[in-house]
Chain A
Amino acid sequence: MKEERTEKKGLVSGLYGIQRAITILVIAMAFFPVANPAKICELVSGKISLFTSAVSYTALTDDLARAFRMNWVSETYFIIAYIGAVVAVLGIVATGAGACMSLGNARLQRLGLKFTILGALSEIAGYAVCFVSYIMLNGEVGGETRLVKKLGPEMPIGVFVFGALALIVLLLSLVIMSKLPKVTADMRYEMDSKYKLFLMFLPFAFMAFLFCYLPLYGWRYAFFDYKPGGTLSMKNFVGIKWFAYLFENEATRTDLISVIRNTLGISALNIVTQWLPMIFAVFLCEVRNMKFRRFVQAFTTIPNFISWVLVYAVALSIFSTDGFINTFAKEVGILAENAKGKNYLMGDNHTWIKMWAWGTWKGVGWSAIIYIAGISGIDQSLYEAATVDGAGRFQKIWHITLPGLLPTFFVLLLMAISGMLNNGLDQYLVFYNAENREHIRVLDLYVYQIGIEDGSLPLSTVVGMFKSVISVILLFSANALSKALRGESIV
Chain B
Amino acid sequence: MAKTKQEKLDAKREKQYYKKHKKMYRTTVGDVIFNIINYAFFTVFTLTCIFPFYYLFINTISDNSLVKRGLINFYPKGINIDNYLALREVGDLGASFIVTISRTVIGTVLMVIASAFVGYLVTKQEMWHRSFWYRFLVITMYFNAGMIPLYLNMALLGLTQNYLVYILPAIVQPYNIILVKTYIESIPGELEESAFIDGASYMQVFTKLIFPLSKPILATIAIFGAVGHWNSFQDSLIYMQGNSSMFTLQHRLYIYLNTASNIGAIMGQSASDAQRMMEEALNAKVIRYTISMVSVIPIFCVYPFMQRYFEKGIMLGAVKG
User: Are B144 and A208 touching (Cβ within 8 A)?
Assistant: no
CB < 8 Å: which of A59, A200, A314, A471 contacts B56? A314
Find out whether the CB atom of B56 lies under 8 angstroms from the CB atom of A468. Answer: no
Q: Is the CB of A197 within 8 A of B124?
A: yes
Tell me the complex Cα distance, A314–B48, Å: 11
Report A-chain residues with C-beta under 8 Å of the C-beta of B171. Answer: 204, 207
CA A193 – CA B127 in complex, angstroms? 7
CB neighbors of B among A298-312 (8 A): 298-303, 305-310, 312
Interface residues of B in 32-60 (CB under 8 A from A): 34, 38-39, 41-42, 45-46, 48-50, 52-53, 55-56, 59
Nearest 3 Cβ contacts at the A-B interface: A218-B149, A464-B146, A327-B70
- Whole-angstrom CA separation of A194 from B131 in the bound complex: 13
In this assembly, does B80 line the interface, its C-beta being within 8 Å of a C-beta of chain A? Answer: no
Query: Contact partner of A193 among B41, B126, B288, B318, CB < 8 A?
Result: B126
Tell which of B127, B251, B292 touches A314, judged by Cβ atoms closer than 8 Å: B292
Which of chain B's residues has its CB closest to A469's CB?
B143
Interface centre among B42, B73, B232, B254 (most CB of A within 10 A): B42
Q: Tell me the nearest residue of chain B to A456, going by C-beta.
A: B148
- Within 8 Å of chain A (Cβ to Cβ): is B24? yes
Q: Which of A195, A306, A426, A472 contacts B296 (CB 8 A)?
A: A306
**Interface contact B46-A295, CB-CB below 8 Å:** yes
CB pair A393–B34 under 8 Å, yes or no, is yes
Given the interface pairs A47-B155, A207-B171, A283-B38, the reply to whether A305 lies near B315 with Cβ below 8 Å is no
From residue A310, how far is it (CB to closest CB) to chain B in Å? 6
Using CB atoms, name the residue of chain B closest to A313: B292
Query: What would be 21 A-B contacts, judged by CB atoms less than 8 Å apart?
Result: A47-B152, A55-B158, A196-B202, A197-B124, A205-B136, A211-B172, A283-B38, A287-B42, A296-B42, A306-B299, A309-B257, A313-B289, A314-B53, A320-B264, A373-B311, A373-B314, A387-B25, A452-B151, A452-B241, A461-B149, A464-B148
- In the bound complex, what is the Cα–Cα distance between A143 and B251 (angstroms)? 51
- B8 CB to closest chain A CB, in angstroms? 10
B118-176 CB contacts (< 8 Å) to partner A: 118, 121-122, 124, 126-130, 133, 136-137, 140, 142-153, 155-158, 168-169, 171-172, 174
With contacts A316-B261, A322-B285 taken as known, whether A475 is within 8 angstroms of B140 at the C-beta atoms is no
Interface string of A97-124 (1 = CB under 8 A from B): 0000000000000000000000000000
Inter-chain contact A324/B73, CB cutoff 8 Å: yes
B238: which of A200, A214, A452 is its contact (CB, 8 Å)?
A: A452
A369–B310 CB distance below 8 A? yes
A472 near B142 with CB under 8 A, answer yes
Interface string of A361-375 (1 = CB under 8 A from B): 100010001100100
A303 contacts which chain B residues (CB < 8 A)? Answer: 49
Number of A-B contacts defined by CB within 8 Å: 263
In the bound complex, how far is the Cα of B149 from the Cα of A55, in angstroms? 21
- Taking beta carbons and an 8 Å cutoff, which residues of A are in contact with B? 31, 33, 47-49, 51-52, 55-56, 59, 193-198, 200-201, 204-205, 207-208, 210-219, 221, 283-284, 286-287, 290, 292, 295-296, 298-303, 305-310, 312-314, 316-318, 320-322, 324, 326-328, 330-331, 340, 361, 365, 369-370, 373, 387-388, 393, 408, 411, 425-426, 429-430, 444, 447-448, 451-452, 457, 460-461, 464-465, 467-468, 471-472, 475, 491
Q: A210's contact among B114, B157, B314, by CB below 8 Å, is which? A: B157
User: A123 → chain B, closest Cβ, in Å?
Assistant: 20
Contacts of A316 in B (CB 8 A): 257, 260-261, 288
Q: How far, in whole Å, are A286 and B310 apart by their CA atoms in the complex? A: 22
CA distance A451 to B31 in the complex (A): 57
In the complex, A361 Cα to B45 Cα: how many Å? 9
Residues of B within 8 A of A475 (CB): 142
Residue from B143, B146, B230 within 8 A of A447 (CB atoms): B146
- Contact call B146/A317, Cβ cutoff below 8 A: no
Question: Are A52 and B133 touching (Cβ within 8 A)?
Answer: no
A217 and B172 within 8 A (CB): no
User: Which residues from B are CB-within-8-Å of A300?
Assistant: 45-46, 49
For residue B54, give the distance in angstroms from its CB to the closest CB of chain A: 10
CB pair A194 B295 closer than 8 Å: no
B101 contacts partner chain A, Cβ-Cβ < 8 Å: no
Does A207 contact B49, Cβ atoms closer than 8 Å?
Answer: no
Contacts of B147 in A (CB 8 A): 425, 444, 447-448, 451-452, 460, 464
Contact A307 B233 (CB under 8 A): yes
A201-B118, A313-B253, A317-B59 are known contacts. Are A425 and B234 too (CB-CB below 8 A)? Answer: yes
**B307: interface (CB < 8 Å):** yes
Contact B114 A204 (CB under 8 A): yes
For the A-B complex with A59-B158, A284-B42, A322-B281 known, give 20 more contacts whose Cβ atoms are closer than 8 Å: A47-B152, A194-B126, A198-B133, A208-B174, A212-B143, A218-B156, A221-B152, A307-B250, A309-B254, A310-B295, A313-B253, A318-B52, A322-B282, A322-B285, A324-B73, A361-B49, A373-B311, A393-B34, A475-B142, A491-B142
**Min distance, Cβ A213 to any Cβ of chain B, angstroms:** 7
Q: Residue on B with the closest CB to A361?
A: B48
Contacts of B231 in A (CB 8 A): 305-307, 309-310
* A373–B41 CB distance below 8 A: no
Q: Name the contact of B158 in the complex, choosing from A52, A283, A471 (C-beta under 8 A).
A: A52
The listed residue (A299, A330, A447) touching B46 by CB distance below 8 A is A299
Q: Is the CB of B157 within 8 A of A197?
A: no
**In contact, B144 and A471 (Cβ under 8 angstroms):** yes
Q: Please measure, in the bound complex, the distance between the C-alpha atom of A300 and the C-alpha atom of B43, giving whole angstroms.
A: 10
A49, B156: Cβ atoms closer than 8 Å? yes
> Across the interface, do B156 and A52 meet the contact criterion of CB distance under 8 Å?
yes
Select which of B41, B117, B143 is within 8 A of A472 by beta carbon. B143
Q: Which A residues are CB-close (under 8 A) to B289?
A: 313, 317
A308 & B128 in contact (Cβ 8 Å cutoff): no
CA distance A124 to B19 in the complex (A): 86
